[in-house]
Structure 1
Amino acid sequence: MTHQIAPKAVLFDIDGTLIDSNDAHTRAWVQTLQRHGRAVSYEQIRHLIGKGSDKVFAELLGIESDSALAKQITKDRVQLLLSDFIPNLAPTPGARLLVQRMRSEGLRLVIASSSGEELPALLAQAGLADLLDTAVSPDEAKESKPDGDIIEVALRKAGVQANEAVMVGDTPYDIAAAKEAGVKCIAVRCGGYWDDAALSDAAAIFDDPAALLRQWADSPLAG
């Protein structure tokens, strides 16, 4: 039998994983793009949530994320999130209790998210800012999710090897990014939209952080 290494670090996605924000991100994209004369539907955006915004710009609008238009759209979208959406968001069930348990276990906790300037506000709204060790911002990685660059930066920040970490996320893009970096991924369903077939490359799937906490002993977190 192969010995499984007990994890030393947990790499977290935040949107849909620790805070119920995927719908807010979708609506913020739709409203901002409409203001810029780009009519897109909710569904066109929703399945892209979890990818980096550079990927969204390329796939949806065919523009580079460093273009003047993309930069203005990003500025306007983040402002809309901060003013209209994030103050009304709730953490996912059990988010703080799960993170507290991880801290008590001595795990290093790193946010590995595609969120940018809005990340501090998301962490504060989720009630988690005081519990996490560090975060990776998108500009620290060459490629965004589903590429594995953000995960590799998170591993370096945590000071661990890939087989000493576990990723927790809610989209196939989290799973793909973790897999590319050689990290095992736990998926949660609370982000909505994706069914278990889409999340099937995860090492385990739970309803939400509360369910993961209840089943800790049977999860990849237990080593």
Structure 2
Amino acid sequence: MEQTAVLDVDGTLVDTNYHHAIAWYRAFRKHGRTLPLWRLHRAIGMGGDKLVPAVAGIDFERAFGDDVRSAWETEFDALIDEVRPFDGTQRLLETLEERGYRIVFATSGNPKHVDHFLTLLDASTYPHTTSDDVDDTKPAPDLLQVALDKVGATSGVTLGDSVWDFHAAARLGLRSVGLLTGGTAESELTAAGAEAVYPSVIELVADLDTSPFGRG
């Protein structure tokens, strides 16, 4: 029976989380708010619609949310050429396909950023989501559901780097694997629902047989 791998992109396959935190920091500063980078980093993985009120409050969201998101896009555009894939990502995709997995990327990223990342991963032909596909982003499960729908699946194994990935997966009853690549502690990922956690993509590939991807 064919299985589905539902893969996050930002912070999981490409090294972006700290770039995102810097971009958000600069965007908020443009609108009169200086937020600590550690707090912004802990919110990375949420969609921008959730991140702004989560770190700055609902009143700030109502007054400046769209403007801050626009400023974040401009700031991140200036950093995007520094982004690189994590070592082992190509081998992970190849190995999953060899094992009969359908691969779909579930990300709430800006469409032009997602296109850039998939080009870096040599993965532009795979089905994927973007922020344009849903009104409610992670930790809501909508993006994962859209990703499953794109490949005609009802279940799968997810891969992510933030607690928001696993909160979303749990709401759909999906098994999940975590990576430390986004900068979140193993204990937090496990508490959020990750069934197994690996330090890197390379170490996941090396242990794929005993991971949820190997056990199905």
Matched with 1:217 is 209
**Aligned mates of 1:51, 1:161 — CA distance in 2:** 23
Identify the match of residue 195 of structure 1 among 168, 185, 190.
185
Native 8 Å contact 1:9 1:109 kept in 2: yes
**RMSD of the alignment, in Å?**
2.0
Identify the match of residue 159 of structure 1 among 134, 152, 165.
152
Q: Larger % of helix: which?
A: 2
Identify unmatched segments of 5+ residues in structure 1: 1-5
Q: TM-score, normalised by structure 2?
A: 0.89
**Match for 2:110: what amino acid?**
G
**Aligned mates of 2:82, 2:97 — CA distance in 1:** 27
Partner of 1:168: helix, strand, or coil? strand
**Aligned mates of 2:200, 2:59 — CA distance in 1:** 34
**Aligned mates of 1:68, 1:10 — CA distance in 2:** 39
Identify the match of residue 144 of structure 1 among 137, 142, 148.
137
Matched with 2:28 is 33
- Higher mean C-alpha deviation, range 56-65 or range 108-117: 56-65
> Number of residue pairs matched?
212
- 1:8 Cα deviation after fit: 1.2
Structure 1 vs Structure 2: percent identity of aligned residues? Answer: 27
Matched with 2:161 is 170
Identify unmatched segments of 5+ residues in structure 2: none
**Aligned mates of 1:157, 1:47 — CA distance in 2:** 29
Identify the match of residue 106 of structure 2 among 103, 112, 125.
112
- Higher mean C-alpha deviation, range 199-208 or range 99-108: 99-108
Partner of 1:187: helix, strand, or coil? strand
- 1:7 Cα deviation after fit: 5.9
The one-character-per-residue Cα deviations of 1:88-116 (angstroms, maximum 9, x if unpaired) are 12211211111122223332211111212
The one-character-per-residue Cα deviations of 1:102-148 (angstroms, maximum 9, x if unpaired) are 223332211111212322122223x2334x52111223223211111
Q: How does 1:41-190 map onto structure 2 within 5 Å? A: 41-63=36-58, 69-83=64-78, 85-117=79-111, 118-125=113-120, 127-130=121-124, 133-162=126-155, 165-190=156-181
Cα distance change of structure 1 residues 93 and 65 upon mapping to structure 2, 3 Å threshold: farther
